[in-house]
């Protein structure tokens, strides 16, 4: 594994990885922060099965949109929503016909403390906590979903002074994991593997409490002639990737 420094502006959190041999084709991929663990797991199989490498950056969907419009070198975009790739498609920034839904995300209310969050999320309405972490709802679809849950429970005004807002879902998770917030709304994939929550305590938010988090992938114009870009999109539609995606709590 080679760790490379990113030259993109630090508007979002980036970790860049390259997998495989120097002879393989590379594809530059912008990945919504919630999908960090699954794509890293998929990358190893993708390299082994295709010979191609991923150079992967992680951040908030809204920030990636701005960077793509400003000429960032991304060739494939794995968004945390379906509206941003569709907008890029409408604006002529994507390869026609390449957009598809690769996962449907699940929101969770999580605390790093065992037993702090009950299975129905009653802790949220009890309002005894000091800080509630969410991702920026203007840039991160999971943050927008969190605000919809609060509105549905008539809690928006009650918790307004307790909100700790992260740039993206990774930072929202970090606020909780480090104890800077007692609980927060995170992507289930950040705390879930193979059918169970891996740490702390969580309420898996029912899907009908917010708009569906349909996550679309698309090949960007910069990847039009890159065989590795097409190979990655095809791979994400295959059974190996599907098994990994489902193991992190996503729906397909």
Closest by alpha carbon to 55, among 38, 73, 37, 80?
A: 73
| pLDDT tops 70 at residue 14 | no
Q: Are 140 and 226 in contact (CB under 8 A)?
A: no
Buried b / exposed e over 220-248, threshold 16 CB at 10 Å, is bebbeebebbbbbbebbeeeebbebbebb
How confident is the model at residue 5, as a pLDDT?
A: 31
Confidence of residue 139 (pLDDT cuts 50, 70, 90): confident
What is the distance between the alpha carbons of residues 235 and 238, in angstroms, rounded to a whole number?
Answer: 5
Looking at the predicted structure, is the pLDDT value of residue 4 above 80?
no
Counted residue by residue, the chain has a size of: 252
pTM for the model: 0.83
H/E/C letters for each residue in 194-245? CCEECCCEEEECCHHHCCCEEEEEEEEHHHCCCHHHHHHHHHHCCHHHHHHH
Angle between helix 36-50 and 239-247 (nearest 10): 160
Higher-pLDDT residue of 31 and 2 is: 31
Average pLDDT over residues 127-145: 95
pLDDT digits (tens, 9 = 90+) for 38-94: 999 999 999 999 999 999 999 999 999 999 999 999 999 999 999 999 999 999 999
The per-residue pLDDT for 24 is 66
The domains found in the chain, sorted by start residue, are 2-104+213-247 (3.40.190.10), 105-209 (3.40.190.10)
Averaged pLDDT, 139-165:
96
């Amino acid at each position: 594994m080679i760790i490379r420094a990113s030259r993109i502006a630090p508007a979002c959190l980036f970790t860049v990885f390259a997998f495989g041999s120097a002879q393989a084709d590379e594809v530059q991929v912008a990945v919504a922060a919630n999908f960090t663990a699954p794509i890293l797991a998929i990358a190893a199989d993708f390299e082994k099965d295709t010979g191609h490498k991923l150079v992967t950056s992680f951040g908030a969907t809204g920030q990636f949109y701005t960077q793509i419009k400003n000429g960032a070198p991304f060739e494939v975009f794995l968004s945390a929503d379906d509206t941003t790739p569709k907008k890029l498609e409408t604006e002529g920034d994507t390869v026609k016909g390449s957009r598809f839904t690769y996962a449907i995300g699940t929101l969770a209310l999580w605390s790093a403390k065992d037993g702090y969050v009950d299975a129905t999320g009653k802790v949220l309405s009890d309002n005894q906590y000091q800080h509630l972490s969410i991702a920026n709802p203007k840039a991160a679809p999971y943050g927008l979903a969190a605000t919809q849950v609060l509105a549905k429970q008539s809690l928006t005004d009650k918790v307004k002074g307790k909100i700790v807002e992260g740039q993206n879902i990774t930072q929202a998770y970090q606020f909780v994991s480090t104890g800077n917030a007692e609980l927060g709304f995170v992507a289930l994939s950040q705390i879930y593997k193979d059918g169970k929550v891996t740490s702390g305590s969580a309420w898996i938010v029912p899907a009908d409490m917010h708009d569906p988090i349909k996550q679309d992938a698309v090949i960007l114009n910069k990847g039009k002639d890159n065989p590795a870009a097409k190979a990655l999109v095809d791979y994400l539609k295959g059974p190996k990737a599907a098994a990994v995606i489902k193991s992190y709590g996503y729906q397909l």
